[in-house]
Amino acid sequence: MTRATGGGLIGAGALILTGAFSARFTTAAAIAGTVVYLGFGLGRLVSTAVDGSPGSSLILAAVVELGLGAACAVPLLRR
């Protein structure tokens, strides 16, 4: 299961990177980045609420993911 998730993340990362350099893929990249990063960040928040506080590295990861997800959402909200 872990490999399948990693493959999906590589695909999303490739799309996000492509969207950074090609206007044709910008909207799709912003959507992918928003869904992936906010999904992981919000999932970590739910996990924290259910399972208790994780280590500091996972808290930092959640903060970074939520920040990146919000940054990806900005161009979508400005439309």
Long-range contacts of 24-28 (CB under 8 A, 24+ apart): 26/75, 27/75, 27/76
Asked if 15 and 32 touch (Cβ cutoff 8 Å), the reply is yes
Helix (H, G, I), strand (E, B) or coil at 55: coil
Can you tell me the distance from the alpha carbon of 5 to that of 14, in angstroms, rounded to the nearest whole number?
14
pLDDT at position 1 over 70: no
pLDDT of residue 2: 63
Asked if 72 and 37 touch (Cβ cutoff 8 Å), the reply is yes
Report how many domains make up the chain: 1
Can you tell me the distance from the alpha carbon of 21 to that of 67, in angstroms, rounded to the nearest whole number?
21
pLDDT of residue 59: 93
Give the range of the structural domain holding residue 23, as residue numbers without chain letter.
Answer: 2-77
For 26-75, write each residue's pLDDT tens digit: 999 999 999 999 999 999 999 999 999 999 999 999 999 999 999 999 99
Band of pLDDT at residue 3, cut at 50, 70 and 90? confident
pTM assigned to the model:
0.86
